[in-house]
Amino acid sequence: MKEQLQKDFYNNIKNLSLSQKDIEIKKFCLDNFIDKGFPNKKEEDWKFSDLNQIIKNNIGELSFYNDQAYTNKVDTSVFVDGLEHNKIVFINGRIEKIDFGYEKKDQIEIIDQSETINEFENSNSLSDLNNAFTNKCFKILVKKSYQLAKPLIIYHTTNSKIWSKNINLRLNFELDKDSSLRLIDLFNDTSEKNFLNIFYNFELKENAVLKNYKVDKFENKNIKYSFNNIDQDKNSISETFILSSGSNFSKNEINCNLNGVYASAFVNGVFSLNNDKHHEIRSVINHLTENTKSYQLIKSVLDESSKAVYQGKIFVNSDAQKTDGYQLSKAILLNKESEFNAKPELEIYADDVKCSHGSASGSLSEDSIFYLMSRGLSYQQSRELLINGFLLDVVEKITDSEIKNLIKNMIGIKE
């Protein structure tokens, strides 16, 4: 792998206009990745998921270079109907379209940060890989007191031109004081056997509000890793919702730093898996000052030989008195071959806090199915009704009614 990495790296940078210093930084990141390799079960944060083996078994030989000089045609058929929205379109890791047509042009600034290297707290070798191979990076700045009129959907698409490729991309977001952003990440792949490595950094100033919805719904044979770093100032709110369903393997990591008083973070997610899919959510909420709040709820419905993992941690430092932290995960296993692993953690260094965590898993209640069948429903209808009721609790946590209805339609939840 080392020889292939180095070959792809130098093929990549020769097509970029970089200073010698930038090349040296990227080379340093490459060497770090070569030294560490892909994460495996020896690392505590990856104890349930050996990415190295997952890539070998599902992709095999992986190429780390993509020719991003080629322009891809935007397929408008992938755009969400019935929801007016702004757009950023990635095709094969290349930004093909940025459209904020619904917004005031002077209230959003798009800044090229391609020469900026990101260092994230608690990140791993995949951040080094991302820094080494990311070609284009933009920062989206929402200016003071501006609230976007329409959601922003980031379309992550691939087409048949790539196969067995590693795609690295990153975006930075800054929400200035009193601003807000509704953001949907929507994955829609037509290619197979690729590894997507995505890094986002969010900076929320005082009173800023971020609502981020990550949707991996459509069936595909790709492997995805997403790392989201969120830094929050006073009175800011972040809401993250994850629908994890379509990919062969997917891992979403959220690292949230509540730096300002009265900052709040909410992480909610749904696993809906079948076949041999393996999906994971790992969240770390760092309560770093007093009077902060976090709430996490993850629910899983697992069929056939699927596997879901939830690792959730609440960290409370000694200055973070009056912390309110809650974390719960529940799973329904529809097949004896399915598997759910949970690792809830509390690390608390303050004494005036209210924190709790819990986890539970089991099968559908046959008594409940029998009761519904006695009221005229079929076995399949009874089963679906119970599953919908189980998942509805999480979906109802979505605070944006328009996006909540969109997610319900995607999952197939009927009330």
Lowest mean pLDDT among 68-77, 79-88, 175-184: 68-77
CA distance 390 to 407: 15
CA distance 415 to 261: 38
Segment 267-277, tens digit of pLDDT: 999 999 999 99
Joined together, the tokens standing for residue 252 give: 């979403």
Confidence of residue 415 (pLDDT cuts 50, 70, 90): low
Phi then psi for 25, rounded to 5 degrees?
-65, -45
Tokens 């062969």 belong to which residue?
Answer: 248
Phi then psi for 402, rounded to 5 degrees?
-65, -45
Confidence of residue 113 (pLDDT cuts 50, 70, 90): confident
Three-state DSSP state, 365: coil
Per-residue pLDDT at 1: 78
Residues 6+ apart with CB under 8 A from 363: 332, 333, 334
- Residue 411 CB coordination number (10 Å): 21
Average pLDDT value for residue range 381-387: 93
pLDDT of residue 180 exceeding 80, the answer is yes
Per-residue pLDDT at 61: 87
Segment 74-95, tens digit of pLDDT: 999 999 999 999 999 999 989 9
Q: Contact at 8 Å (CB) between 92 and 159?
A: yes
pLDDT of residue 296 exceeding 90, the answer is yes
| Mean pLDDT over each residue of the chain, to the nearest integer | 93
Dmax over CA atoms of the chain, in Å, equals 74
Q: Contact at 8 Å (CB) between 245 and 141?
A: no
What does the DSSP assignment read for 41-56?
TTSGGGTT--HHHHHH
CA distance 175 to 201: 11
Angle among Cα 279, 287, 310 to the nearest 5 degrees reads 15
- Nearest-CA neighbor of 38 among 129, 119, 135? 129
Per-residue pLDDT at 69: 72
Q: How far is CA 73 from the centre of its chain?
A: 26
CA distance 274 to 229: 29
Q: Give the start-end residues of each E strand in 247-366.
A: 249-258, 264-273, 278-287, 293-302, 307-316, 323-333, 339-348, 353-362
pTM score: 0.95
- Nearest-CA neighbor of 291 among 264, 266, 265? 264
Tokens 């709820």 belong to which residue?
Answer: 297
